[in-house]
Structure 1
């Protein structure tokens, strides 16, 4: 079975997920893509390469999950740990054929030109990586001026800073191209929110059909899951465990094979919205206060907002993933749906999410035992907070379910 998806929509959805990491700064990658494409056009590159550089800009920070790392990216021109997210991004993209051409440019997008030109990297890839580095640093220099609308006042200083790094950080030819492209007010005004959104709408309309197999969609979901699970030691391996357990329960509840495949993908994607939760809240080992809990509770809606824009995900995968905190009595979040509105797959995912979180080892506690978790699940059923039929299958197979929900290291390495 395949789903007729659109690769451009997938790229934009990945970009939207990465935007969440910025919390308040939600368009860094998009601005980098816009500037890269503008420079490509000034350089006289073919339109298909300009399009590639736009998409590369959108995804260049695919290795970033931490809000702390994102803060470094937009607040500092360079720092000692800048290569880590480049290596992670390379690893994520290299094994996914539709986006594999971006892997090496992502790997080297924080490597200075004076070093990059001596490495064993194809010249075209090196130049692509260095252009992204240049416009990425332009956006970092511009970041403090977006909120107070002073960017046009700062452009001379930004241009001078980039010019001062010609031959060291950046290829001199790219510096010359940037200086030519950025001499107009239009270059800088294109980075304002309304202009960014208009650009994205126009590009979204250019179809890029992708008849994706379930295996390819699962591979894409694993990329999303790795980004989420890398965010915190508290969430490591959670998405994979939930995905595995959801499929395990669905098969025993005689869900169709097609929907089992889709549910497995939804399980990998269910916590995508947590990328917008600040690290200090997600990593907090003690109880959350009311404000922190409200912030955490936004994540399932953010998941829905991203996934609903991928063709083929909007009717089943997106809502199943987004509804994993809805309760049969309508007291869940974020939509407060009644039980009759919740398909079986969403109810399965809720149970899988709760169970996996309880049995997983966390830095601040051991996973619960079979007896402990069984008692907790039974209490949730009595309170009307989870589906009794799903919980019954889980409790009848609790030992095996614990094994499924806690993938061993070899399983994680093989999948990820």
Structure 2
């Protein structure tokens, strides 16, 4: 498996931006503005790409729609540091992206409050992300409006007021100079972003990633998803561990088992677009809420499908709600179209959900879980052969599903 890092960065940015639900381009706009300001400052092309990547991923510590609302609706939110620390922790454990960790850590810290021992280049990079992030918070409501180019002036004036305190004076000057151009603002519209981002990321030869690096990135994706709610905590990792073990018991080769584990880690990325109150609702969902939930597997497919070389894993991950009789979603695939990997992940997903505490019920015991799985088999939903793999050592399977730490 060899995939391009630039593809992964864009996919990760897509996943992070899903948290905005109706506004899913925040990170991309921040990245483009940061790169444009870096160009205005005379920074090298490599530094401009660094700023683009930092902007795309700066909110990787945000999984909650509630937190996202605070960040885009309030200029300086008291709880902002929490997601900065979480973002740093996620990035520093992923080798291809670890160089962004410190920038993300300080991207909501005022210029006058940055640690004195912090490298100046890192301090400027972090403060530039903070600056353009706040520009987007001030301006996002006007994008696409007929008088959009007039509305931007109030944002420019508001930012200029904070020179020397929240933002470094040289960064303010660069922003004011770059943002005089109408192109600076028009580049932020969705139709232009879609064309521009792959070209800009392509300025620097993309690093090719092997299986181990892809797995570490998948762990980061899953950590972002599982942090969305107390009721999603450890779900992706539990599904991945159980799916890996079922694939091993099935006699699949080591690489296929590893790819199935990655698909398990990635299967619920699309849930980032589901509002917190829907995931945490203690009672039955209404029709509209169910529809919001049902789109998540297709969102997963769209995000992962943009990573060249990950097409097969994208289908496995997105098929976890498909059923053998063709009544599942989002593609209504039938038994003749669902590979073994998809069937394994589907069983692992159901099993893990049943043994986990959810807002509408307590965890089920082993006997009840097996009864439910067999009901699903009889109804033509789940694969009986995969369920049989789980039953070979059901105690081990349930331990893997319940607790990643124990596994």
Give secondary structure in 1 for the equivalent of 2:207: strand
Report the CA distance shift for 1:408/1:16 in structure 2 as closer, same or farther (over 3 A): closer
Question: What residue is the counterpart of 2:337 in the other structure?
Answer: 341
Distance 1:132 1:205 in 2: 21
Q: Is the 8 A contact 2:55 2:129 kept in 1?
A: yes
Segment of structure 1 superposing worse, 103-112 or 71-80: 71-80
Aligned residues: 407
Distance 1:28 1:211 in 2: 27
Q: Shift in Å at residue 365 of structure 1? A: 3.6
Q: Is the 8 A contact 2:400 2:406 kept in 1?
A: no
CA distances 1:350-392 after superposition (whole Å, capped 9, x unpaired): 0000000001233554311111111111111111110111112
CA distances 1:26-82 after superposition (whole Å, capped 9, x unpaired): 110111111111111111111110111011110111111111111111111011101
Q: 1:194 aligns with which of 170, 191, 194?
A: 191
Question: What residue is the counterpart of 1:82 in the other structure?
Answer: 80
Report the CA distance shift for 1:298/1:136 in structure 2 as closer, same or farther (over 3 A): same
Question: What residue is the counterpart of 1:30 in the other structure?
Answer: 28
In structure 2, runs of 5+ residues without a counterpart are none
CA distances 1:148-168 after superposition (whole Å, capped 9, x unpaired): 343212122111111100011
Matched, 1:51 2:80: no
Report the CA distance shift for 1:122/1:54 in structure 2 as closer, same or farther (over 3 A): same
Question: What residue is the counterpart of 1:107 in the other structure?
Answer: 105
1:4-19 paired onto structure 2 within 5 Å:
4-19=2-17
Q: Shift in Å at residue 204 of structure 1? A: 5.4
In structure 1, runs of 5+ residues without a counterpart are 412-416
Report the CA distance shift for 1:44/1:34 in structure 2 as closer, same or farther (over 3 A): same
Question: What residue is the counterpart of 1:67 in the other structure?
Answer: 65
Distance 2:58 2:245 in 1: 35
- The TM-score, its normalising length taken from structure 2, stands at 0.97
Give secondary structure in 2 for the equivalent of 1:347: helix
Q: Is the 8 A contact 2:267 2:297 kept in 1?
A: yes
Aligned-residue RMSD, C-alpha: 1.4
Q: Is the 8 A contact 1:4 1:209 kept in 2?
A: no
Question: What residue is the counterpart of 1:331 in the other structure?
Answer: 327
Distance 2:58 2:248 in 1: 38
- The TM-score, its normalising length taken from structure 1, stands at 0.95
Q: Is the 8 A contact 1:377 1:391 kept in 2?
A: yes
Q: Is the 8 A contact 1:233 1:363 kept in 2?
A: no
Question: What residue is the counterpart of 1:414 in the other structure?
Answer: none
Distance 2:245 2:63 in 1: 28
Give secondary structure in 2 for the equivalent of 1:215: helix
1:270-285 paired onto structure 2 within 5 Å:
270-285=267-282
Q: Is the 8 A contact 2:75 2:137 kept in 1?
A: yes
Distance 1:317 1:198 in 2: 25
Q: Shift in Å at residue 12 of structure 1? A: 0.5
